[in-house]
Structure 1
Amino acid sequence: RDKQKRQEELGAYFEGHRSGHLLAIMIAKLEEYLDIFEARDFHDVAISAKSMDARLVIDAYTEISKRFDYPLHLGVTHAGTRETGSIRSIAALGTLLANGIGDTIRISYASDPVYEVEDGVELLCSLDMRPRKGIELIACPTCGRIQVDLFTLVEDVKRTLDAEIELPIKVAVMGCIVNGPGEAEGADVAVFAGDRRGIIYVQGEKVANVPEAEILDRLLQECKTFEARVEAGEIELGQKVVDIVPPDPIGELGSGVEKIRSGLVERVTIEGGRAD
């Protein structure tokens, strides 16, 4: 009768809440089990309140964190395939962790557990809750300005640098020179691709202009050199030397010149300078 009364009290408290009925049951059961442990002076307890519903997980752990002074193990259970499971897990766990709730986590879904660990580590690194090992890759999505095989380049860069670089160097792979310099702000090493070419910067300073086929090798070379200089104490991660000045698409990447020479566009003069 006492258990039933307590559940009714909690039900009234959570009335109108989207997950009120389930929250009342979960809190009542937690109180019941913790009373058993505490009556026996046993306090080595961690609380987990998993569900496959990401919103319920957020609501449950938020309420539990207010009521119980025990470590919380976060997770979304029965989350589905990797595609849906990772999104559900990160939506719930990321929200909770960002609000200071949670002590341990597990991301789980119906796939290789190695991927679960990788996703969990990336989540913690993204929230600055775990030191990153290896590169942090920044890459832009596709758009009409891309003139290289960006998707293949990004995958090749990640695979190669993951195997070769140990320090958490921030590497940017950008498909154009329009938004690239701004979006790569803060990158230690960056490449901006143009018409079958790539311009490589190290901490804001241009170091190379290479054909598309040579981008990966030169980027790896610059990352290795940069890593060695960091380890030698010559420079620091995230220490921008100069502001990145967007390269001139005509003088640097060649696409403008080629179009002018082919007659696709005309060179015109406007007040204050030249426009192509």
Structure 2
Amino acid sequence: MVRTKRSIEEEARVRRVSGQNREDYLANPEVADLLEGEILKELFAWGTEGVRRALVVGLEDQGRIALELVKAGVFVTVVEPDESLHEPVLQAAGNRGIQLNFYASDYMKRDFASSGFDMAIFYSTLASYNEPLVVLKKAARELRAGGRVFARVRVRPTLAPIEQLLGKIPHASKVTDKIGELVAHVPSIQAVLSLPDGAALLEGAGEIFKIERSIKYHLIAPVIGQLGVKPNAGQQLMKKALPLVIKVDNVALKAKPLTLFATHLAFFGSKELGLGKTFKL
């Protein structure tokens, strides 16, 4: 699959958005196991069979995924622009007698051969880009036919149904405009609203890959997890409370309306064989 003028123009627009992806807890094995353990188990079971060459974008997890894949016999290429994250992973790999291929680069600034990988993994990086679907299109080009993609993304609440409801209320636009003005002055809320819309992202990803499974999960558990990695007197208490909070989240998300407010989306997909689905590169 060759690059087209359209894909070159699209990729030129993509940039990393600072401050979008505060998930420090992913580097804490204890907290990460509680929050993401089930997803990781599924990834390792699904992502090692028949996979020889894998691309891992980002080291937010301190290289855990990359190291596990290498242990399973997969040749792993890691792309991570922050070189300070490389050394601990290289050291861990050396201690285990395994090797990883590293590129100190932004993924969108590093081109790989078309059809060069069997799998691509975006564990916590897609939300850092202003156009995540363009990032996924690039990954599709670099995957072989039948290749797999896994993405886990921090997303904003899906507000479309609420906006449709408000649209039926007279003068509601005046109220929402005022709320919008207030939100613009609250950085933490603005940061959340700047994240990808989960429903739109999944729909767009479905035009690029065949989505085999998708999961919407977490409500408030990541907030507790983030607090749990900070050194303070309540750290242990937060870690003890986290399993209960996760259970509450899981029960709450069984109610379909609440899935609109899920903070995370994960999906497993594949690049279709032969002609399959087509999309504009």
Q: What TM-score range do you get, normalising by the shorter chain?
A: under 0.3
Q: What's the TM-score, normalizing by structure 1?
A: 0.23
**Greater C-alpha radius of gyration:** 1
Calculate the TM-score normalised by the size of structure 2.
0.23
The one of the two structures with greater contact order (alpha-carbon pairs below 8 A, sep at least 6) is 2
